[in-house]
Structure 1
Amino acid sequence: MSATATARPVALISGGTGGVGDAVSTRLAAAGYDIAFTYNSNAEKARALAERLSSSGSRVHADAVDLSDAGAVDAFVASVIETFERIDVVIHASGPYVEQRYVSTFTSEQFRRHVDHELVALFELARTTLPHLRASAGSLTAVTSVGVRRFPAKDALSSVPKGGMEALIRAIALEEGRFGVRANAVAPGVLGDGMMGMLASTGDVPEFQRTYLEDTIPLRRLGLADDVAQAVCFLSSPAASYITGQSLDIDGGYSL
């Protein structure tokens, strides 16, 4: 988890160009990590992020990766090891846009897509990186959703795969602890600069619903990606060296 005399620690972040992924990458780079990140298709945004991280002194390695494709994940992780020779921290922060639909209305293809790009993606990333995390006694953190505990109607395409992700995290924590590997989840609530903005722009979440959510959150505001990133970076740090198998809700009290 800490740099040796000859090497900086290395963090691999999936979904680096997303709101949480960007914030995590920025904080870890500032903390002295070299950064590897994946992105979906926005090469321009990825290039801008890589340039910003490089300007802070980090070496950066990035590529577009389909995380549900085992071969693509294997190839990316191999390229990270070739570049940096180690992986200390893995953050799974990627995920597709989630349409708000009742279970009775979405298709088998839609459901399968979300399972593939969230739950299967986490499995492929964990499967491929665990040998390297064992070598570094590193950590794995998955970004899930507080919807796993306070379920909102029409959110099953997101919450169901993320429930599986949290179960997988607990399994990894239990089985890999003997190698010094820790695994945790961070569950965001409603983020004003995350998926909520996209849902509002498409009309999936009308303005009155956003206002209602703000009024029912005990802290009376929507969260920010950086609120989540701070928790992710804590769980990835030596300060959390005795924390594993946990899910931390970052939701302003929404799940109470």
Structure 2
Amino acid sequence: MTGRRDFPEGAVLVFGGSGGIGSVIARSFGEAGANVAVTYRSNAARADEVVKEIEGLGVEAAAFAADVTDRAQIEKAVADTVARFGRLHSVVFVAGALPVQDYITQYSDEAWHEAIDIEVHGFYNVVRAATPALKAGGGGSFVHLGSAGDIAWANRDGLSVVPKAANEALVKGVAKEEGRFNIRANSVLIGVIEAGMFLKFKEQGVFDDAWIKATYARQGLKRLGKPEEVADAVVFLASNRASYVTGQQIAVAGGYGI
């Protein structure tokens, strides 16, 4: 690190930081010199592995259990982060369900409600629980992981796009209403990233070579994205280098939709 500090004392809290993309984001914060707390819903072993990886970078890290649909668990994760690190300065929301790939009129009610509960209610719960802690620390930043489908609709991907699109409105609302407390909120819209959900669907045969070729036709860059490229944008938006950036979207999607 140079003489300029990208992050204040305290820690970033990454909801979903034990997942495929979330773990890369958490590690990238560690590489940038930030202390990191990650949450997990059920995979405590993987969360512990992420913590050890981050600690190996010379910063402090911790893992806390938190189901984002349970406000009490989120409040506890926030309180535990503050108790462990002294301050919460950034919150990243990566948590999400594995969405069913189907047309809008063919969703089951159960799949719809699960997507809304985890993505929309989950992010709302995080905002409600974390905002007081950010205020107490003199401000901070929310970074939401959204979908490039907010730029151009992708057929059959609605259960991923629609809940995240609702959160894009909430991001702007937080930026507008909480900016007086030096709290910023931004979103990273991701395209097809070679990690997490994409790899699971590829294993299931949902995403085949024809699907990937059709995706490339809608992009400027003819390749898949890397989770590190998403992480770079997230870390920037949370850092002091983006201290005058709020209510914005950065698409890390290879020019999808242009």
Q: What is the 5 A alignment of 1:12-23?
A: 12-23=13-24
In structure 2, list runs of 5 or more residues that go unmatched.
none
Matched-pair contact (CA < 8 Å) for 2:17–2:40: yes
Hey, what's the Cα distance between the residues in 2 that align with 1:126 and 1:3? 20
Which secondary structure does the structure 2 equivalent of 1:12 belong to? strand
- The Cα shift of 1:28 comes to 1.0
How many residues align structurally? 253
- The Cα shift of 1:174 comes to 0.2
Change (3 A) 1:2 1:149: closer
Hey, what's the Cα distance between the residues in 1 that align with 2:194 and 2:87? 35
Matched-pair contact (CA < 8 Å) for 1:99–1:204: no
| Cα-to-partner distance string for 1:133-189 (whole Å, 9 max, x where unaligned) | 122321100001011221111111111100011000000000001111100000001
Hey, what's the Cα distance between the residues in 1 that align with 2:132 and 2:76? 15
Change (3 A) 1:85 1:196: same
Structure 1 residue 56 corresponds to structure 2 residue 57: yes
Q: What is the 5 A alignment of 1:28-177?
A: 28-134=29-135, 135-177=137-179
Hey, what's the Cα distance between the residues in 2 that align with 1:226 and 1:45? 19
* Cα RMSD for the two superposed structures: 1.5
- The Cα shift of 1:215 comes to 4.1
Matched-pair contact (CA < 8 Å) for 1:87–1:136: no
| Cα-to-partner distance string for 1:64-95 (whole Å, 9 max, x where unaligned) | 21101111111111111111121001111111
Which secondary structure does the structure 2 equivalent of 1:144 belong to? strand
Hey, what's the Cα distance between the residues in 2 that align with 1:170 and 1:215? 31
| Cα-to-partner distance string for 1:80-125 (whole Å, 9 max, x where unaligned) | 1111121001111111111201122212121111111111111111
Which residue type is aligned with residue 51 of structure 2? A
Which secondary structure does the structure 2 equivalent of 1:136 belong to? coil
Change (3 A) 1:3 1:95: closer
TM-score normalised according to structure 1 size: 0.94
Which secondary structure does the structure 2 equivalent of 1:16 belong to? coil
1:204 aligns with: 206
Alignment identity in percent? 32
Matched-pair contact (CA < 8 Å) for 2:100–2:111: no
Structure 1 stretches of 4+ with a deviation exceeding 3 A read: 1-4
